[in-house]
């Protein structure tokens, strides 16, 4: 794909893919041997429209002492997700949000909802999940669909985490529906 940006690459992949179920990962994610099997199982056993799996960090540098598990997940997990060791379903009211490194969607869903939003420089995976959720689709989390997200040493500083969370704030502001209650002050027109 000659155009720069993940949504362009995702949509080009969708355009060229011929399968009934499309699995997505990132270039810095390493799927395990159970990844595709776990996704497939959830599609067939749960009749899910979309499936995600567990994405755990693979530290490529020494993990700093200040970056506890609690801090790592509170900061947003840097493209990792772990909803625990058991299968979850939105039909049971569970949150099955995914990250771009581990998601699979039925072709018929993509045909109905369209591709990824090319205006999104980041967070296009989350935006697509919210779109699926708004349409009441059946989504599932399958922990055996396991992959590992490589986190290089240059991403293990407080400055990097501040920049990462700052950019995430822009995404949240861009996708959040506007409500008058979000105003800090009310001023007359």
**For residue 151, which phi and psi values (nearest 5 degrees)?**
-120, 105
Model confidence pLDDT, tens digit, residues 120-164: 777 888 889 999 999 999 999 999 999 999 999 988 888 887 887
pLDDT for the residue numbered 185: 60
pLDDT for the residue numbered 83: 94
- For the chain, give the percent of residues with pLDDT over 90: 58
Partners of 147 in beta bridges: 31, 55
Closest CA to 133 of 73, 75, 175: 175
pLDDT for the residue numbered 133: 93
CA torsion 142-148-149-153 (nearest 10°) is 150
Partners of 81 in beta bridges: 55
Whole-model pTM?
0.84
Q: Quote the tokens at residue 161.
A: 């985490």
DSSP assignment string, 123-158:
-HHHHHHHHHHHTT--EEEEEEEEEEEEE-GGG-SH
Model confidence pLDDT, tens digit, residues 75-95: 778 889 999 999 999 999 998
Q: Greater confidence, 187 or 45?
A: 45
Closest CA to 124 of 146, 148, 149, 105: 105
SS3 call for 187: coil
Model confidence pLDDT, tens digit, residues 3-27: 988 899 999 999 999 999 999 999 9
SS3 call for 132: helix
């Amino acid at each position: 794909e000659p155009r720069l940006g993940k949504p362009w690459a995702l949509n080009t992949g969708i355009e060229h893919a011929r399968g009934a179920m499309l699995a997505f990962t990132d270039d810095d994610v390493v799927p395990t041997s159970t990844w595709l099997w776990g996704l497939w199982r959830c599609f067939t056993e749960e009749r899910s429209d979309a499936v995600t799996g567990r994405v755990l960090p693979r530290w490529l540098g020494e993990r700093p002492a200040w970056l506890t598990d609690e801090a790592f997940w509170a900061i947003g997990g840097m493209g990792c997700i772990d909803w625990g060791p058991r299968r979850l379903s939105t039909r049971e009211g569970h949150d099955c949000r995914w990250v771009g490194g581990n998601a699979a969607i039925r072709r018929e869903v993509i045909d109905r909802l369209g591709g990824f939003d090319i205006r999104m420089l980041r967070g296009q995976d989350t935006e697509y999940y919210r779109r699926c959720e708004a349409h009441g689709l059946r989504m599932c989390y399958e922990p055996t669909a396991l992959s590992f997200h490589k986190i290089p040493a240059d991403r293990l500083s407080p400055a990097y985490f501040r920049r990462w969370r700052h950019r995430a704030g822009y995404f949240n502001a861009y996708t959040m529906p506007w409500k008058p209650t979000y105003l800090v002050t009310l001023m007359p027109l």
